[in-house]
Amino acid sequence: MQQYLKQPLLIAALTIFTLINLSPIIWGAIISIKQPIDAFIPTLSLDFTPTLEFHEQVWSESNFLHYFTNSVMISASTVIISLSFGTMAAYQLTRMSPATSRPLLISILGLRMFPHILLALPFFVIAQTLSLIDTYPLMILSFVAINQPFTIWLMRSFFAEVPKEIYEAAAIDGCNAWHTFYKVALPMVRPGIWVTALFSLLLAYNEFLFARVLSGPVTRTLPVAISEYGTEDVSYWSVSAAAAIGITLPIVIFIILLQRHLVRGLAMGAVKG
């Protein structure tokens, strides 16, 4: 009897928790289809005429599409580069002895623990000296630099779940180091690769400080651009909400498309066999 009671209570608790977390997004979505005068109503009133005027304004009457293209291109390039190098580094770290790999892992983690502002200023000075400010290579390389420790640590956790006996069996079958990595290890951690790609994409797509310091009119990304929509002018509130929804939708679509792979990747290591 208690088992039958627990399941509805758990579903109800999870539903309430989800609604609480989604409430800012729902509120923003409603504001984006309201007129500015209706957006300032302090209660969640549904007594208004919906309009897509501000969504159309964001995508057609501004450089939002250009900033969106920048974000997608820079984030995708960051994921491809950081995931490629991070996967190989993580695999090698799992094959090394703990006495050798532990200091390297701690050093990598230390780089991630630095406040971004401490890293952004040296990047800016170096980029200004080399005349690289507001260039795509600078944006991509700087995003890779701050995301690489996270990629290595996360991928290492997935490679650590692969039994060493599998590598030994591959070596007995005549696989060299590259074939063992490419044909044995990678297929076994493929769900983990999708999970790492998603989180790396989120970090790069939402990065604000580095994008603010190192970008310009040419390479400006969405997080920097949307900060310019929020002004003290009342008429910009609905535009800001529409821009925020426009930023969120691509990531939501990406997660929905990869949901099957993400669930498998997040479940890796949950069951010890």
Residue that the structure tokens 């599998």 belong to: 166
As given in the structure block, the two tokens for residue 164 are 């060493």
Interatomic CA distance for residues 175 and 271, integer angstroms: 28
pLDDT value for 255: 80
pLDDT value for 65: 87
pLDDT value for 272: 45
pLDDT tens string, the chain, 273 residues long: the values are 455 556 788 888 888 998 898 888 888 888 888 887 776 766 666 777 888 888 888 888 778 889 999 999 999 999 999 999 999 999 999 988 888 888 888 888 887 788 888 888 888 999 999 999 999 999 999 999 989 999 999 999 889 888 888 888 888 888 888 888 888 889 888 888 988 998 899 999 999 999 999 998 899 998 888 877 655 555 677 888 888 888 888 888 888 887 776 666 666 544 444
pLDDT value for 261: 67
List of domains in the chain? 63-228 (1.10.3720.10)
pLDDT value for 220: 92
Q: b/e string for 157-171 if b means 16 or more Cβ within 10 A? A: bbbeebeeeebeebe
* 10 phi, psi to nearest 5 deg: -65, -45
Interatomic CA distance for residues 112 and 114, integer angstroms: 6
pLDDT value for 77: 95
Q: What sign does the dihedral 61-73-221-123 (CA atoms) show?
A: negative
pLDDT value for 271: 42
